[in-house]
Structure 1
Amino acid sequence: MTIEPKWLEWAKQLQAIAQAGLTYSKDVYDLERFELLREVSLEIVAHHTEVDRRTIKDLFAHETGYPTPKVDIRAVVFKEEKLLMVQETSDGGWALPGGWGDIGLTPKEVAEKEVKEEAGLDVKATKLLAVFDKACHPHPPSPYHVYKLFIQCEITGGVPKKGIETSAVGFFAQDELPSLSVARNTQSQLDIAFKHRLNPDIPVYLD
């Protein structure tokens, strides 16, 4: 069950229909209609946010091909009972190391790469813990439909240090978590990571 605003859900659906139509339609009049539908989706988002229309178009309406969700990969790294987190320079909040999936890399490789780049540690990805649909969790509104993969990793080397996109690195107990970058991870999602730490045999979380 999604919890994002209905206007955003509708705008995404219109955008997906328009993108598919622009990809597969051949008739010039149909292409004009799908382009208009895309413009309507932009107007909806612009009306409900403070983001200027051009920025929305750059973020929201330049996708091509069949519309599919984006994939955000987050590494879950524990040291004893404390969870590795990085402070994001973009908003000052704290998040699990991670980012968009990269073409040419497996999810495991992305998780390992992001930890090295954002936290300075060498890790080995070992297990998928959760697959979240971002629309089903209390994140801020986003123009993208996003699946979030939480992948457990074990430390194999390196030393904690900040990266280009991070300003600090730390390990935190469940009752001592810092102010979160909720666009990237929520309290309830991190609670699931801690549940896996306490009971490794629980099943993968799926929305």
Structure 2
Amino acid sequence: MKNSTQQLTLLISQLQAIAQSGKFYTKDVYDKERYEQLEEVSKKLVAQLTTATPEQLQLFFDQDTGYVTPKVDVRAVTFKNDKILLVQEKSTQTWSIPGGWADIGYSASEIAVKETQEEAGIKVEPKRLIAVYDMAKHQYHKQSFNYIYKLFFECVPENTPIHSGVETSNVAFFSLEEALKLKLSLNRNLPADLRMVFKCRQTQHWETKFD
């Protein structure tokens, strides 16, 4: 069950999406003014819940135009000798499955390849889609007011050495037991995610999980 802050965050995100989409599509000048007022209310609510500066709030609210859609976070699940590849973030010193935001011009599987090479220095080939999750329906420690879908791809690594990247300080392969003892980046992956991907690894005919 979500706590009150998570529920309020989701409601504010929905409010902001209604305001932004309404501003874009309405042809009525008075309706546009009302949607702008609604957006201002959303900004004030966000300001009450976060330590974001006015400039950061403006950037968040102005980053998209038109109809608001979810952002996509892609994770590349890579195994070697039945151990999973994890990277340690420089900024937080927490561990996560390699991945990041989907970029324009790349397919989701191409993002899995790109992020793994950037964060772990290794080339991989996506094999199958493990899961598509709605982040709001799970217990992630959300750090953004964006609405987010998470995609997990199982990938096969090339026989090349791993090394840290610009945003990572350490890279290694771990058993499930070892991984669960790490300080995980809980906005990127949960212990339940690790258990799920290891189960997928042991299952030949895996059915993609989705919300």
The TM-score bracket by the shorter chain reads over 0.9
Q: What's 2:189 paired with? A: 185
Amino acid at match of 1:70: K
In the alignment, what sits opposite 2:202?
198
Give the Å deviation of 1:30: 1.6
Aligned to 1:156: 158
Question: How many pairs were matched up?
Answer: 207
Q: Report the equivalent of 1:108.
A: 109
Q: Specify the code of the residue in structure 2 equivalent to 1:68.
A: T
Q: CA shift at 1:56, angstroms?
A: 2.7
1:84 aligned residue:
85
Indicate conservation of the 8 Å contact 1:123/1:157, yes or no: no
Q: CA deviation at 1:185?
A: 0.9
Runs of 4+ more than 3 Å apart: 1-4
Corresponding residue of 2:60: 59
Contact kept? 1:87, 1:167, Cα under 8 Å: yes
SS class of match (2:159): strand
Corresponding position of 1:127: 128
RMSD: 1.6
Instruction: Give the whole-Å Cα distance in 1 for the aligned partners of 2:120 and 2:164.
Output: 5
Aligned AA (1:206): F
Counterpart in 1 of 2:28? 27
- Partners of 1:60 and 1:139 lie apart in 2 by 22
Deviations 1:143-195 (A, max 9, x none): 01100000011012321011111111011111111211111111111111111
Structure 2 CA distance for aligned equivalents of residues 90 and 100 of structure 1: 17
Q: With structure 1 as the length reference, what TM-score do the two structures score?
A: 0.94
The 3-state SS of whatever aligns with 1:181 is: coil
CA deviation profile, 1:98-119 (whole Å, cap 9, x unmatched) = 1111111111111111111110
Aligned partner letter, 1:200? Q
1:17, distance to aligned residue in structure 2 (A) = 0.4
Q: Percent identity at matched positions?
A: 44
Distance in 2, Cα, partners of 1:26 & 1:88: 46
- Report how far residue 27 of structure 1 moved: 2.1
Partner of 2:69: 68
Aligned to 2:97: 96
Give the TM-score of the pair, scaled to structure 2.
0.92
SS in 2 for 1:179: coil
Contact 1:60 1:144 in 2 (8 A): no
- 2:110 & 2:185 partners in 1: Cα distance? 23
- State the alpha-carbon separation in 1 of the partners of residues 20 and 159 from structure 2: 44
Instruction: Mark the runs of 5 or more structure 1 residues left unpaired by the alignment.
Output: none
Q: Which of the residues 137, 144, 169 maps onto 2:171?
A: 169
Q: Post-superposition shift, 1:2?
A: 6.6
